[in-house]
Amino acid sequence: MIFTHRSPHRSARFLPLYIFLVIFLCGCQGARVEARQTLNKLPSLDQALEMSVTRYSSDNPSTVTSQSDVALEVKRNYDLILARREQLEISKEVKGHFEKAVTQAEKKFAEGEENISQSAITKLKLGLAGTLNDISQFNSDIALAQLHLEKYLGVRWAQGVDISGPKFQPANFPHKTVDEFLTSNSSGSKTHKESSLFNLREAIIAVNKAREQLTLAGKNRKMTRALLVTEAANYDFGIGDEADLFEALIIYTRVLVGYYEAIHTFNVAVGRFHSLYHAK
């Protein structure tokens, strides 16, 4: 009787300790699952895709419908970071030109030069404000794309992560028709339903459109750069005016930012085509 009386009492004494240990061990296990690698620099695209495959493997199921969907999102956000990085550099360069032009114009106006007006100074300030807005937008887009990649790669970014490494360039996709792609592809024997072929044909139309726009943007880029260099030099030497410099800076921004946007659009179109092709 003494034994049976004390056993529940002793068990009750150790019950809170038991509950604490269970909660602690479960918490530790959860911490191990949620632990993420911290990256100090942007990996290559191949490395990023490999990370996503590991994270969304069959042993680690996700809410995303397929690996091809994950790969497309990784490519889209990865390319967006690179596009915004280049556009950010362009905007910072233009910002410097606008700031210098505003300072010089205000100095000329204060000295009473007849060739400078308050209206010209206002236009330069508005151009600077627009550029500052672009910089804010590009930084925000980069931060958002990094956040999305954290989810798809299962990583965390270090403070001030280095994104300067990977080169931003158009995807290698010379094909202009679905038949041309299937013929040249090593797995071209893969069969597709009529609905799948329709989706591929629709996707390659978008690819061809993006390619044409990219080609045109590439041709305009060199001419625009030369225009800006000429107008900036003329203004510095006092033989150019604010209106010409303002126009050159606006054109330069539109064309160069548009060029990198065209690369991103083309790469996303190619990525979507590949995603449809590999979809089951």
Q: What is the share, in percent, of the chain residues with pLDDT greater than 90?
A: 64
d(CA 241, CA 234): 8
Quote the pTM value: 0.81
Q: What is the share, in percent, of the chain residues with pLDDT greater than 70?
A: 80
Give the Cβ contact number of residue 26 at 10 Å. Answer: 10
- Whether the per-residue pLDDT at 190 is higher than 60: the answer is no
d(CA 55, CA 34): 12
Q: What is the pLDDT of residues 38-57, one digit of tens each?
A: 999 999 999 999 998 888 76
Distances (CA, A) of 39 to 116, 154, 160: 51, 11, 10
Mean pLDDT of the chain: 84
> Where do the domains of the chain lie, and which CATH numbers do they carry?
39-278 (1.20.1600.10)
Query: 174 exposed, middle or buried (CB, 10 Å; 0-12, 13-18, 19+)?
Result: exposed
